Each structure stands twice: as structure tokens, then as C-alpha cells.
Amino acid sequence: MRRDASESVPYGMRLAAAWSWRLLLVGGVLAVVIFLIFQLRFIIIPILVAVLLGALLVPFSQFLQRHRWPRWLAIAVAMLAALTVVGGLLTLGITQIVRGLDDLAAQSLVAWDEFKALLLVSPLHITETQLNDFVDQVFASAQADSNVLLSGALSAGSTVGHFLAGMLLALFATIFVLIDGRGIWTWIVGVFPRRARAAVDGAGNAGWATLQNFVKVQVLVAAIDAVGIGLGAFFLGVPLAVPIGILVFLGSFIPIVGAVVTGGLAVFVALVYNGWVIALIMLGIVLLVQQVEGHILQPLIMGTAVKVHPLGVVTAVATGSLLAGIAGALFAVPVAAVANVMINYIAGGSWKHAAGPPVEEAHSPLWRTVPQRPGYQRGE
């Protein structure tokens, strides 16, 4: 009697093979998706920025509409408020930094001379020749990378052009999210088969609610960090306290990395201008604020808004920064949080008994809470 060759393969091997080719297929699809995202990053990043801004501004616009503001005026006020806050912070921070840049450079040289003198008389027995050799090695390393710096300088025009184009795209996309969020979501739901629309619609609602909570909480936590560290620098007499607070606020949107970099900048400025004693006190303030944020503010304020384990946050930020630099670190946590909630919703199966909304009746998570006008008819 003939026997099938597969019968001679142990069950464990067949199971491993079945899992292997499926994992390879999923990995291949993910690789293609990541490649496409990287190729289209100048379009995808502004769209993601618009989604984050929409998650912050849509509730504000809806609040104004519920209080009988005209729809166009509510949208215009929300956009102008966002532009005013962001533009004002950037203008104030850049102006302060430019004014104090020359003084900071001069103070840095003075601090380096004092540090060098301290090293020369320290028990480490470091000589001035060794210090000069070290400085020469640093400059030699910088000169060795001059080709990279030159190519970056030559591409600066292209980078500025991409930034301006991306900023305009993010602005227009945000306006469309505010104006026609319902239509956008209806179109997205309609792309999927009818049987999948209930799952897509429910997962979208859950993901959108999580994103809104994340953005609001992140803004609050960033503001508390900025006020705490900025006031600490102000009362210690550290110059550039306002730019430090602004940089802390902006950097707090990049978890872990932003807090470390901006906190290190505050300590460096304190060291240069006020000496190592004030710098140590500034370091203590930075660590205190970050510990309060990590162990009190995040668990207390965030609550169940973003159900991602801290290890998942670290892994997401590291992966995002490795794949897409600063932009990847910025979007890593909200993407991970939204994906986690949407996957859990679909895996939970609560949508299976729902018929699923037709395309023309797809419920938009962007506009669901806005009361309709009296006499509103579908398709009006």
C-alpha cells in the first residue's frame, strides 16, 4: 500500500512549517508596508500630524457647535487657536534662543576653560597636551565627516521645500478632517466588504476615542513638565528659562527621548551659567519632575486612556526612531495605542452579531457626538 510522504513527517515539524510560511507571509507584507510608508513619508507624516491635530481640535469644534456657534466659525476658531498657540510658542522660543546664543557660546568657552583648569589640578593627572590631543581628535572626526555635512547642506533646500509642502498638506488635511470628518470615515468604511464594516466601524470608534484621550493627556502632561522645569530654572536664576520650558513642552510629545534631551539641555545651561552646584540642583528638579510624571501623572491622569505597558512604550519609541527618526519616535506611542485598542476590539468579537453599517449610514467617530440640526435628513 502506498503511503503519503507527508505521513512520515512528524506532526511537530508540520505544525512548525505551517506557522513558518504564514509568519514569513505576514513578515513580507509588513516589510512591503514599511517600505511604502518610508517611500511616501513626505505624504504620510503630514497626514498623521493632521490626524493628531484633528483628535485635539475636533472636540473643541464640537463644543463650540453645541453652544450654537456656526459650523464654519467653530472650525475657523479651532484652527486659528491651534496656529496661534503653536506659532506663538515657536516664535517666543526661537527669539529668546537667538538673543542668548552668542552669550551662551561665550559662557560655554569660559566654562570649558574652568573645567580644563580643574582637570589639570585633579588627581587624574591629566596634562594639557592630552586635553589638546583630545580636542584635536574631536575636530579631526568632524572634518572626516565633512562630506556628510556638505551633502546635508546641499540638500537643505530640498529639505526645507519638503517641510513647507508637508506643513501645507497637514494644514489642509486638518481642515478637511474638521469640515468633512464624517465623509472621510464613511468612505473608509465603504472600502471594506459589507460583512467587515461592523468590525471596522467599532474598531475605528475605539481607536479614535483612545487617540483623543492620548492627545489631551499628553498636552496636559507636557504642560505640567514645562511649567515645573521652567519655574525651577527661573527661581534658580538660570538664563533662557522660557526657551527651556518651551523645549520641554515640545519635547515631551516624544516619550522618554524628548524628556531626556530637554532635561539635559536645562542642566547644561545651568552648568554653563551658574556653576556645578546650581546644575546639580537643576538636575534634581528635572529628575523630580520626570519621576512625578512617570509614577504619578501618567498612571493617575492617563488611567485607562492608553493601555500600553511601559515596556511596550519603550519598544515602540525605539523601533519608531530606528525606522523613521524623530517622526517615528513621535508617532510610535499613539500608533501603538490605537493599534492595540483596535486589535483587542476586533479580537473580542463583540461586533460579530452586528449587521454592520451600510456605507451611507456609517457612523463617524469624528462627528458622532455633534447634535444634528432639527429636520436633518440623511444625505442633506
Return the axis-axis angle of helices 197-235 and 241-251, rounded to nearest 10°. Answer: 160
Residue type at position 258: G
Could you read off the pLDDT of 25-49 as tens digits, one per residue?
Answer: 999 998 898 888 888 888 888 999 9
Residue type at position 163: F
pLDDT value of residue 281: 92
Residue type at position 223: A
Per the confidence metrics, is the pTM higher than 0.85?
A: no
Residue type at position 186: T
Cβ atoms within 10 Å of 263's Cβ, excluding its own:
23
pLDDT-flagged residues of the chain (< 70): 1-7, 124-125, 138-160, 255-257, 294-295, 297-310, 353-380
The Cα–Cα gap between 150 and 83 comes to 34
pLDDT value of residue 4: 63
The Cα–Cα gap between 165 and 149 comes to 24
pLDDT value of residue 131: 72
Sign of the alpha-carbon dihedral angle for 36, 41, 46, 48: positive
* Joined grid coordinates for residue 308: 500600553
Taking the mean position of all CA atoms in its chain, how far away is CA 250? 10
The Cα–Cα gap between 130 and 119 comes to 11
The Cα–Cα gap between 75 and 236 comes to 42
The Cα–Cα gap between 263 and 281 comes to 12
The Cα–Cα gap between 286 and 247 comes to 13
Among 323, 248, 313, 334, which Cα is nearest to 49's? 334
Could you read off the pLDDT of 150-206 as tens digits, one per residue?
Answer: 444 344 444 667 778 888 998 999 999 998 887 888 888 888 888 888 888 888 888
Domain coordinates of the chain in residue numbers? 192-355
The Cα–Cα gap between 115 and 149 comes to 29
Sign of the alpha-carbon dihedral angle for 80, 82, 83, 86: positive
pLDDT value of residue 73: 92
The Cα–Cα gap between 130 and 322 comes to 35
Cβ atoms within 10 Å of 107's Cβ, excluding its own:
17
The Cα–Cα gap between 360 and 344 comes to 26
pLDDT value of residue 154: 40
